[in-house]
Structure 1
Amino acid sequence: MGLALKGLLGELESCRSKGVPTDAVTRVEVVRTLEIPLDLHACRELRVLAHVFSGDQAELAAVVLRAALMDMQEHLDDDLDSLATTARQLMNDPCQQASEII
C-alpha cells in the first residue's frame, strides 16, 4: 500500500496547500456497498486525517482501501508476469518435454 498511499497523501497535501476541497481526490463512485470493521486505532487515524485535510472520514477510508487494492493489483501483475516467464521456460525445457512424452 506504500506507493499508492504516498501518492494519495501527496494529492491531499496539494489540495490543502492550494485551499481546494479534497472532494475531487476522495470522491469514489459507489459500485457496491462493502462493510469492513476497522479497529479503534485505524478509526482514530482516519478521524485525524479527515480533520487535518478537511474531508469526510468515510470517504477517506474508501480512498485508502481503493489505494490498497490498486497497490495489490500492481503486485499481482508482476506475479502473473513472473509465472508466465516460468511457464515459458518450462515449455522450452527438454526435460519437461521428455517427461510429458513418458
Structure 2
Amino acid sequence: MVVDEYKRRTLRSLSLYREAKTVMPLGVSSNYRYFDPYPIYLSKGKGSRVWDVDGNEYIDFNMGFGALEVGHANPRVVDEVNRAVNDGSILGFEYEK
C-alpha cells in the first residue's frame, strides 16, 4: 500500500534509477543512498526541505549527516561561497585569504 503510493509518485526517479543501474551498482554512488524498491532522485533543496525530480517535497531530516545544520541554500552561506568563488576556484598556490 505505502510502496504502491511511493511508486505512483516517483516515476521519474524510477526512470533515472533504471538508467543509473546500467553504470553503477544499485544505481547509486553510495550504499547509504539506496533503499527498496528504488531511491528517490532529488532536484533541489532549500532550508529544511528537498524536492525530488517528480516534484514531491520532503523534510530533510538527514541534513547532510550534520553538514547542513543551517539548511540547504542558506543565503548567508551562498553569499560567502559566491564571494569566495569570484576570487578564483583552484589557484594552485598558497592564497592570502
After TM superposition, the score normalised by the length of structure 1 is: 0.26
Q: Which has the higher helix share?
A: 1
- Name the structure, 1 or 2, with higher relative contact order (CA <8 Å, separation 6+): 1
TM-score (norm 2): 0.27
- Higher radius of gyration, 1 or 2: 1
